[in-house]
Amino acid sequence: MKAKKQENEVSFGFVRVAAVSPRCKVADVAFNCAEIIRTACEAQRKGAQLITFPELCITGYSIRDLVSQDLLLRKAEEALEKIMTASRTINAVLVVGLPMAIDGMLVNVAAVIDHGTILGLVPKSYLPESGEFEEGRWYRPGHDLLCKEVELAGLTVPIGANMLFTSKTLKGATMAIEICEDAWVPIPPGAFHALAGATIIVNPSASNELVGKAAYRRDLVKGHSSTRICAYVYASCGPGESTTDVVFGGHCLIAENNSIMAESELFERNGTTIMADIDVKKIMHDRVISKSFGENTRVVNASAYRTVKMDLPDITSADIMRSINVHPFTSEKPGMQKYIVDTIFDIQVNGLIKRLEYTGIKKVVLGLSGGKDSTLTYLVAIKAFEKMGRPLTDIYAISMPGPGTSDATKALARKLGSATSFEEIPIVGGVAELLENIGHDGSTQDITYENAQARYRTYLLFQKCNQLGALLAGTGDLSEIANGYCTFNGDHISGYNVNCGVPKGLVKYMILCAISYFKNGALKDVLTGIMSHPDSAELTHAGKGTITQVTEDKVGPYELAEFFLYEFVRWGSEPKRILYLATAGFKGKYSEAVVKKWLKSFYIRFFSNQWKRSVAADGPQVGSISLSPRGKWRMPSDAEVAMWLAELE
C-alpha cells in the first residue's frame, strides 16, 4: 500500500532511485525471482521509489541457448507475475529484465512494474554482435516488433522502445529505458528519450569486466547524464552469472548531470544495492535555461512516444539522502583546491592584462585596506604584472585610513603594500571637511557618515589614476554586490573589477590556499594576519584602533548568503526549497529560524539593490554565477519582492 502523505510533508523535487545487482543463479528462475523481491523490499524500506535491476535478471543474462526452452520462458513469465503480485506491498516502481516470445520472435525486454500492475514492456533496441557477445543468435531487436500491446498476466500491456513513464504527482519525474548495448551505440535511444521529456534514464545491463572497462563504463554513464541533462541509473548483472567465457562484476552506477551520485564495488558476491536522491527540479531547471537543449528537441518525433502514468511517491522533507554542498563555490575534493584557485587567478589575471593592453595603460592603482577583498585584488595585480614582465613598482597600492580604521589593518596594509609602490593617505580631515560642507555634524555615525568615507576614498583613487595615468582595479566581491553592501559611486565602481565574480567565501578560500602555496614567509605571515580579522568595512568606530562594525552582523553569515545566492540564481529555487536545503545542509550550525531570518534579509537586499548591479563595472566571470548586467543576470531594478517573502510566512 502506498503510504499516506502527511500534511506537514513537502516535496522539493527529489526522487530516490536504486540500482540493484542481486544474487543470481543461471536459469534458476525461482531463486532469482525470490532475490528480486527480497532486495526490492529491502530497498523500498530504505525509501527507494524507483528500483532498477539488471538485464534479463529473472533468468540470468548468460542462459545462452537455454533461452529457446519453452519451460524457461514460461517460468520467467510466471516469475514476472509473482513479482507483480509482490509489488502490491512495495511502495516503489520496479524495472526488471526477462526474455519473452512475442510475435514469433524472442525479445530481450525490461518490464516496468508499479503497485501490482505491469505498466509496460521496453525491448532492447541494439544487440551486440562482436567479440564475446552474440545476442543476435537468440534475440531480435525491438524495432522488428509489429505489435504495440501484449496480453500478459491478465493485462493488456503496452510494448515498445518509445515509452515514457511519468509520475502522477511529481512534476518532471519521467523515466525511460535503454538496455545495455543501447547506451554504447553512436546515437543511443536514451538521447531521444531525454529530448522527449525523460529526466531519468534507467539501464538494465549485462556488462562483463575487463581491465579498464569499469572506468570506461563510469565515464559513459557520467557523460550520458551530462549531455542529456538527466539522471542515469545503471544496474549490471553480477558474479553469479556464468563464467564460462566472461565474468560479470555487478557494477552499479547512479549519475546526475555529469556527477556520479553513487557507485558500487565490483564482485560483491552477496549482491549490491546503491541509492541516491535525484534532484528532478534541478534537471528541469537546467533544461529550461539551456536553449540548445530545447532546440535539439526538434529532432525527436514526439508523437511516436506513448506516455504511461506511474505512482512515483514524493520524498518528504524529513527523508533526504543526498549530500548538500553548503559551500557551492568551493570544493572539498582532493586535488581540486589548487585547480580552482589557479583557474580563478588565471581568469582574473588575464582579464586585467587584456584591459591594460587594450587601453595602453601601464600602471594600476588600487585601494589596499588590509582586508580580504583588496588583498585578493593586490595578488591578482602582482601576478598580472609578473606575467607581463612589468615592474611591480607600477602597481600603486593606496592605503586610506579613516575614522574607523583599526591600527591592526593599517599595519597589515603597510606590510602587504611593501612589495609594490605604496602610499598612505589619511582621509580623516578630508571626510570631516566633506561632512561639514553638507551640514553634517561629523560625529553622528549614520549612513551619511559611512558613505562619505567610501566615496571620498574612491574620489582619491580616481584622482590618483589621473595623476599617474593608471587604471583603477576594483576590489568589491560578488557577495557584496548581491547584498547591495557597497556604496554607490564609492567602492561600487572602478576601472576594472577583477573580484566581481568572486563571492566572499571564495575570496577567503583563495587567500587561505595562497598562504599554503606561497614560499615567501613574510607574505604568508601578512596573509595569515589578514585572515584572522573579521570582515568589516571599518566605517564606524567606538574608539581608537578597534573594529566595531562586523559585516555579517548586517547581512548575516556569508556562507548562508552565498548558499542562498547560488540556489536562487543558478537553480531558480523557490524560497521554501532554499529554506529546507539550507536548514538540512547547515544542520547543527544554524536553526531553521535563523536560516529563515537571513533568507528574508537576502531577498530584500537582493531585490532592492539591483539598481547598483545594473551599472556595475566590467569584470570577469569566474564561475556559474555572474550578476553582470551585460551577461548572465538581467533583472528589473524595480521588481517586487513580496511574492518571495510571502512564501516564507
pLDDT of residue 225: 98
CA distance 347 to 325: 24
Residue 554 pLDDT > 50, yes or no?
A: yes
pLDDT of residue 71: 98
pLDDT of residue 521: 67
Q: Rounded to the nearest 10 degrees, what angle do helices 575-585 and 558-565 cross at? A: 140
**Tens-digit pLDDT profile for residues 398-436:** 999 998 888 889 999 999 999 999 999 999 999 999 999
* Cut 0.75: pTM above it: yes
% of the chain with per-residue pLDDT over 90: 82
pLDDT of residue 536: 85
Q: Phi/psi of residue 591, each to 5°?
A: -75, 165
Confidence of residue 321 (pLDDT cuts 50, 70, 90): confident
CB neighbours (10 Å) of residue 469? 11
CA distance 107 to 100: 5
With contact defined as beta carbons under 8 Å apart, do 79 and 29 qualify?
yes
* Stretch 512-538: mean pLDDT: 81
**Tens-digit pLDDT profile for residues 177-213:** 999 999 999 999 999 999 999 999 999 999 999 999 9
Residue 373 pLDDT > 80, yes or no?
A: yes
pLDDT of residue 5: 45
Question: 111-125, 308-322, 401-415, 463-477 — which is least confidently predicted?
Answer: 308-322
Domains and CATH numbers, the chain: 14-310 (3.60.110.10), 336-646 (3.40.50.620)
pLDDT of residue 546: 60
CA distance 173 to 283: 10
pLDDT of residue 520: 63
* Residues carrying an active site annotation: 55, 124, 180
Residue 7 pLDDT > 50, yes or no?
A: no
Vertex 424, ends 423 and 428: CA angle to 5°?
150
pLDDT of residue 303: 85
**Tens-digit pLDDT profile for residues 252-265:** 999 999 999 999 99
Question: 234-243, 316-325, 521-530 — which is least confidently predicted?
Answer: 316-325
pLDDT of residue 485: 93
With contact defined as beta carbons under 8 Å apart, do 124 and 180 qualify?
yes
